[in-house]
Structure 1
Amino acid sequence: MSKVFIVTGASRGLGLAIAQSLVQASHKVFLVARTEKDLQALKTQHPSSVDFMTADLADLKVAPAVIQSALKAFHKIDGIVINHGVLAPITRIFEADAEEWRRAYDINVFSAVALVKEAIPELRKSKGRIVIVSSGAAFGAYAGWGSYGTSKAAVTHFCAHIAVEEPSITSVAISPGKLDTDMQKAIRDDGKSSMSPKVYESFVDEHKNGLLLDPKTPGNVIAKLVDGATSDLNGKYFRWNATELASFQEA
């Protein structure tokens, strides 16, 4: 039976891969991102299965409109993937601008709180699922990555709190690994001056040697999780290729 999912940050990279995987599984997907062109392209390919809204999710007032627009398009919500996020600013704390950190937290943390809060009534009805895209940076410190790492730690722990408060909704935080996306390009382009040389060079080398993941690989896992994550995973964090998720990694 066809389900309805919201996917944020869905215009490119991992979000687009997740959305495509869900559509291929005959589900309906409501996309949210700032860029209309790529969203419209997917809707044109799948007019009955895809709808979208362009929005800057850092504006916390748009969260109710996202949920209402998804309901208007498809009449229910079975799951939501919180995928949007920013790495910037890549700066050391001594050189940081606190307002840039505030902007990063608005995007990476507070927009997730706003969206989840608005989605909870519908997800209670469907006994639905929430997948939050986390990062290994939530558990390890890298010079220059303070705003990103701490915001991902916050949103990962937010997942655990949802699970405690909303046990009928299955919530999971997933690290998708190092992907061949624009975020990795930003690290290579902007990270050199603030990151430690060894860590920076490791990112450059992984790209040069073709070791970055195709977003479709973890994207397929995340799509399966928002569709069918089991209650034993509720509130927990996993890497996308964790042994606990073996059944979701099958082709």
Structure 2
Amino acid sequence: MTSAVTSIPKPTALITGASRGLGAAIARELAPTHDLLLGARSAQALHDILGELPCATGWPVELTDYPAVAEAVAPIQRLDVLVHNAGVADLGVIAESSVAQWRHTLEANVIAVAELTRLLLPALRAANGHVVLINSGAGLRANAGWASYAASKFAMRAFGDALRLEEPTLRVTSIHPGRIDTDMQREIIAGEGREYQPEEFLTAQTVAGTVRNAIDTPRDGHPTEIVLRPY
């Protein structure tokens, strides 16, 4: 008599902003061990990363379109890992900022994060899941010209601290990397009028590995905050 072999399903991870840069690097890092839901604003944006990771599932939705997000979340009954990577970096000095800039930054970097997490709480609770917030060094210290962005990242950190206390069955990790060598960083440096030197920055792969290490921390440990700087 032969006995059936029962395979253990992989844990599921949802990564927002997964089409390129750090999000794509995190997807590559988790692909061998997780069933992936890869978020982006459109299906077209996910074309390349899904071609590279064909076992992953696209999850295209505009995160500030809250009815659409609620519809996209509805089928998810269990979620082991939620990585909040999507965000915007609207920079500029306070004297030249606008209400629209502040609203755009806080909407994308805080409100959308809070609402997606809220909608996914039943699925996260079902798995005793792990929420990873990709924050920034700007979430620990604000610099001139970064007011709205830093304010959003300080708020994200506060959101994570509150979530950790309110949802004791979940693990919540805030990761604060320094500047990362990505397309977004190239745009920032161009805006600062400086020559781009990639060796000055962290690689996306290094930060993705840090995310993986946090997720892999045994359950007796709770990695609450990780600060990573270029060497």
TM-score, normalised relative to structure 1: 0.81
Aligned pair partner of 1:20 in 28, 37, 41:
28
Residue by residue over 1:91-127, the C-alpha shift from the partner in whole angstroms, topping out at 9 and shown as x without a partner, is 2111111111101111000000011001111111110
Trace 1:157-168 onto structure 2 (pairs within 5 A).
157-168=158-169
Aligned with residue 226 of structure 2, among 220, 238, 243: 238
Residue pairs, 1:117-128, within 5 angstroms: 117-128=118-129
- With over 3 angstroms needed to count, the CA separation of the structure-2 counterparts of 1:229 and 1:185, relative to structure 1, is farther
| Secondary structure of 1:11's aligned partner | coil
| Long gaps (5+) in structure 1 | 193-200, 242-251
Partners of 1:60 and 1:110 within 8 A in 2: no
Spell out, residue by residue over 1:177-221, the C-alpha distance to the aligned partner (whole angstroms, 9 max, x if none).
2211022112112235xxxxxxxx6xx4xx426222220111122
Give the Cα separation in 1 of the matches to 2:115 and 2:218.
22
Name the amino acid aligned to 1:117: R
Measure how far apart 1:223 and its partner are.
Answer: 2.7
> 1:226, CA displacement in angstroms?
3.3
SS at match of 1:52: strand
Matched-pair contact (CA < 8 Å) for 1:80–1:226: no
After superposition, where does 1:159-178 map in structure 2 within 5 Å?
Answer: 159-178=160-179
1:33 to 2:47 alignment? no
**Which of 7, 10, 17 is the equivalent residue of 1:9?**
17
Measure how far apart 1:135 and its partner are: 0.7
Q: Does the Cα contact within 8 Å between 1:31 and 1:50 map onto a contact in 2?
A: yes
May I ask how many residue pairs the two structures share in their alignment?
Answer: 221
CA distance in 2, matches of 1:45, 1:14: 15
Instruction: Report if the CA contact (8 A) 1:30-1:50 is conserved.
Output: yes
- Alignment correspondent of 2:138: 137
Taking the aligned partners of 1:157 and 1:223, their CA distance within structure 2 comes to 23
In structure 1, what is the equivalent of residue 94 of structure 2?
93
Show structure 2 runs of 5+ residues with no match.
Answer: 1-7
Superposition deviation, residue 68 in structure 1: 2.6
| Shift in CA distance, 182/229, structure 1 to aligned 2, threshold 3 Å | farther
- The one-letter code matched in structure 2 to 1:156 is R
The alpha carbon displacement at 1:232 in A equals: 4.1
SS of structure 2 residue aligned to 1:32:
strand
Residue 55 of structure 1 and its aligned partner are, at CA, apart by 2.0
1:224 corresponds to 2:213: yes
2:4 is aligned to none
* 1:155 partner letter: M
1:108 matched to which residue of 2? 109
Q: Which residue matches 1:198?
A: none
Deviations 1:27-60 (A, max 9, x none): 110011124335233333443x311122221223
Residue by residue, what CA displacement relative to the aligned partner does 1:45-102 show, whole Å, maximum 9, x if unpaired?
Answer: 443x311122221223333233235x2xxx63111000011111x2211111111110
Which deviates more from structure 2 when the two are superposed, residues 57-66 or residues 119-128?
Answer: 57-66
**Counterparts in 2 of 1:46-65, with a 5 A limit?**
46-47=53-54, 49-65=55-71
Q: Decide whether aligned partners of structure 1 residues 133 and 183 sit closer, same or farther in structure 2, where only a CA change above 3 A counts.
A: same
Q: In 2, are the aligned partners of 1:4 and 1:78 still within 8 Å (CA)?
A: yes
Q: Which has more helix, going by share of residues?
A: 1
**Who is 1:249 aligned against?**
none
37-46 or 152-161, larger mean C-alpha shift: 37-46
Q: 1:239 to 1:16 in 2, by over 3 A?
A: same
Tell whether the 8 Å contact from 1:133 to 1:174 is kept in structure 2 after alignment.
yes
Residue in structure 1 matching 2:204, options 215, 222, 227: 215
